[in-house]
Amino acid sequence: MESLQAAMQFNAEDEDTLKGKYLIFTVGKELYGMEIRNITEIIGIQPITAVPEMPLYIKGLTNLRGKVIPVMDARLRFQKEQKEYDDRTCIIVVESNDQTIGLIVDSVSEVLVLNDEDISPTPEITKTGHKYIKGIGKSGGSVKLLLDCERLVSDEALDGLAPSA
């Protein structure tokens, strides 16, 4: 995980160097990708305080160096079977539209450069069923579902729960 974090360090002013870079991670048996520019860090599982009357996929709140952020379990949000967290489970801290959330994933694997020709539009079969997918990345003979960070952090269940960045 340290090499991934080193690969993700960047100067916020250097947007061009981030273009086409995606963090690849697993949720269940699927590979997902998220644009690096929306990720502030990757951390291990932290203590999470449950919040009453939230959907099951909103695990609660965690304290990240004095900043309280909501935490969403990607497995549950993407309607996969719940499983125990292990030493590969981590939280990807995502920021978009001045909102910050933690996204629990099964594991992170690599930072990958995907050119425009490596990305296909979301197929019709997933448009209604998966509002968080903005495209399909193809690399090394495998498919990665590319997430839309704006939609992820603006999940209606997070209203009033996610403090502004």
Condensed to tens digits (0 to 9), the pLDDT of residues 93-150 reads 999 888 899 999 999 999 999 999 999 988 776 544 478 899 999 988 889 999 998 8
Q: How many helices (H) and strands (E) does the chain have?
A: 4, 11
- Residue 74 host element (H or E): helix 74-77
Tens-digit pLDDT profile for residues 23-72? 999 999 999 999 999 999 999 999 999 999 889 999 999 999 999 999 99
- C-alpha distances in Å from residue 26, one per residue of 50, 122, 162: 24, 19, 24
Distance CA 12, CA 162 (A): 22
Amino acid found at 84: E
Class of domain 2-158: mainly beta
Give the pLDDT of residue 161: 63
> Could you state, in order of their start, the residue ranges of all structural domains in the chain?
2-158
What global pTM score does this model have? 0.83
- CA 27, 30, 36 angle in degrees (round to 5)? 70
